[in-house]
């Protein structure tokens, strides 16, 4: 839950993707956040949590000793032998990649009773809340029949806590200093004063995928308009059944490509996730546009008659998010098309090395035309989905990838010209016109240098963030969404999977 600014950066998974994340699978990126203009940073799931906390050792000894009372742990809570600490199990919660806040609820209850000293104190509905260097243990406390719901029973100091690794990739935040709050003092009938030192707490959680948000509205069950039964315009056709159109210079079946461009945004929710504290840097002739990035032409083979394209593009885009351990560069993009299907390939580089020619996205070309217009073949807004090899680029050895094969990516636009004087469309990644810009960070306050690492030690690497609770995503998959999100890579696997 915590790591000081002087320690090595703790690696987040989207996930985002990652968070998370291409939304936590917001890369839905991460669902890392939803693909809307007002999408919030993604949330990642926390699961299989436990809270080990004894409340206060001297109080436990008082109950079973001087007060001749008893202590009962049940409903998912257990007490260690020898009047030891309590373990609350079944923890589930979320990590907000935007605010770095966590909220985890646990099963179990503990009851302290003494007939001799006339008290009956019950603690149920235990939760742990953190944000930044502070946190709280919250609970419902019953004192002799009077219930106080959701009070902050203890405050937590996360400033000196360093995460460790437990079984199955779980994150362990051991011996978090705890102190009694004013509300906690009242709940115990003034037996202790506010600020009294309590037993330290140990929190264990496992980071999961992005949190899937329920749609706010049901989709309309019927289309708003009936489809037209007839096409609005008649297709141009020869005047007779035996007459075929003559090829013109603007409809070459095969020709030398002399210019072109590729427009693509990878995944909108992933870009938004990076913008919350990282940056995207373009190089090698690539440019930022309103809906992504534009990559310059390198070379291409085009056969319109056979509906085949093999095109390569230069430039690169690098995504870095130091606090979340992200450093990924996409370069040497290629589009290979054959009829109704195609593939987008890319070299993916991290501090661990480069995976060349990763078959990153599957392209649906069923709705495009390979015929040239004004000496330009335009594959506009081609639907793209993540491949298994693409998802693997965001995977870690603990939680896998925050993105699933088949995840929707931003559409791809390819323009190829067989004439040096032809005018290429100026549309963005989704076909909208936008001014070009050079390099620079995506909107966001974060400043990221080259120190961000997608790789790591395989255990809980550190984050250099001054916000200790960011460590809770140390092994999450980045998103990021995603929705999203969260999208974070704890340790990269060595090679790309062929698909």
pLDDT in tens, 307-343: 999 999 999 999 998 877 889 999 999 999 999 999 9
CA dist 380 and 367 (Å) reads 9
CA dist 106 and 119 (Å) reads 25
CA dist 23 and 32 (Å) reads 0
* Predicted confidence (pLDDT) at residue 252 exceeds the cutoff of 50: no
Judge contact between 429 and 410, C-beta under 8 A. yes
State residue 322 phi and psi, 5-degree precision: -60, -45
Q: How confident is the model at residue 42 (pLDDT cuts 50, 70, 90)?
A: confident
Q: How confident is the model at residue 439 (pLDDT cuts 50, 70, 90)?
A: very low
Higher pLDDT, 70 or 477: 70
Question: Which residue in the block uniquely carries the two structure tokens 């809570």?
Answer: 77
CA dist 433 and 417 (Å) reads 19
Q: How confident is the model at residue 233 (pLDDT cuts 50, 70, 90)?
A: low
Average pLDDT, integer, range 372-382: 91
Quote the mean pLDDT of the chain: 74
Higher pLDDT, 241 or 234: 234
Average pLDDT, integer, range 166-180: 88
Please list, in sequence order, all residues whose beta carbon lies within 8 angstroms of the beta carbon of residue 367, skipping any fewer than 6 positions away. none
Judge contact between 293 and 285, C-beta under 8 A. no
CA dist 49 and 62 (Å) reads 29
Closest alpha carbon to 22 in 478, 490, 433: 478
* Predicted confidence (pLDDT) at residue 242 exceeds the cutoff of 60: no
pLDDT of residue 473: 36
* Predicted confidence (pLDDT) at residue 89 exceeds the cutoff of 90: yes
Closest alpha carbon to 439 in 334, 312, 264, 319: 319
* Predicted confidence (pLDDT) at residue 389 exceeds the cutoff of 90: yes
pLDDT of residue 57: 95
**pTM for this model (two decimals):** 0.43
pLDDT cut 70: percent of the chain above it: 67
pLDDT cut 90: percent of the chain above it: 45
Q: How confident is the model at residue 273 (pLDDT cuts 50, 70, 90)?
A: confident
């Amino acid at each position: 839950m915590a790591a000081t600014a002087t320690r090595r950066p703790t690696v987040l998974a989207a996930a985002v993707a990652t968070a998370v994340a291409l939304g936590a699978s917001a890369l839905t990126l991460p669902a890392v956040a939803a693909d809307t203009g007002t999408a919030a940073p993604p949330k990642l799931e926390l699961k299989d949590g436990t809270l080990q906390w004894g409340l206060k050792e001297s109080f436990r000894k008082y109950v079973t000793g001087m007060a001749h009372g008893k202590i009962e742990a049940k409903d998912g809570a257990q007490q260690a032998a020898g009047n030891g600490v309590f373990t609350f199990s079944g923890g589930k919660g979320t990590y907000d990649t935007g605010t770095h806040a966590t909220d985890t609820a646990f099963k179990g209850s503990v009851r302290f009773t003494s007939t001799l000293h006339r008290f009956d104190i019950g603690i149920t509905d235990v939760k742990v809340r953190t944000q930044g260097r502070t946190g709280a243990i919250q609970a419902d406390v019953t004192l002799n029949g009077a219930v106080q719901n959701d009070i902050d029973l203890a405050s937590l100091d996360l400033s000196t806590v360093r995460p460790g690794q437990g079984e199955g990739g779980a994150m362990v935040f051991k011996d978090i200093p705890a102190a009694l709050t004013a509300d906690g003092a009242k709940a115990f009938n003034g037996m202790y004063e506010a600020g009294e030192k309590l037993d330290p707490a140990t929190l264990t959680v496992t980071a999961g995928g992005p949190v899937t948000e329920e749609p706010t509205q049901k989709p309309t069950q019927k289309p708003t308009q009936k489809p037209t039964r007839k096409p609005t315009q008649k297709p141009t056709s020869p005047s007779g059944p035996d007459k075929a159109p003559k090829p013109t210079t603007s409809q070459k079946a095969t020709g030398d490509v002399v210019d072109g461009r590729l427009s693509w945004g990878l995944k909108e929710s992933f870009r938004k996730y990076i913008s919350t504290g990282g940056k995207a840097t373009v190089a090698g002739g690539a440019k930022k546009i309103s809906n992504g990035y534009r990559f310059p032409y390198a070379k291409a083979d085009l056969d319109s008659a056979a509906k085949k394209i093999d095109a390569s593009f230069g430039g690169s885009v690098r995504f870095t998010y130091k606090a979340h351990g992200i450093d990924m560069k996409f370069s040497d993009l290629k589009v290979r098309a054959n009829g109704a299907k195609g593939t987008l390939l890319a070299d993916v580089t991290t501090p661990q090395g480069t995976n060349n020619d990763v078959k990153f996205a599957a392209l649906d070309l069923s709705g495009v035309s390979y015929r040239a217009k004004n000496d330009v073949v335009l594959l506009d807004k081609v639907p793209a989905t993540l491949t298994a090899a693409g998802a693997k680029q965001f995977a870690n050895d603990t939680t896998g990838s925050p993105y699933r094969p088949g995840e929707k990516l931003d559409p791809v636009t390819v323009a190829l010209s067989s004439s040096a004087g032809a005018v290429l469309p100026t549309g963005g990644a989704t076909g909208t016109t936008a001014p070009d810009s050079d390099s620079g960070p995506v909107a966001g306050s974060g400043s990221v240098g080259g120190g961000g690492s997608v790789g790591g030690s395989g255990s809980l690497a550190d984050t250099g963030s001054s916000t200790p609770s960011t460590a809770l995503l140390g092994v999450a998959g980045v998103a990021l969404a995603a929705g999203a999100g969260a999208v974070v890579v704890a340790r990269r696997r060595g090679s790309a999977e062929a698909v």
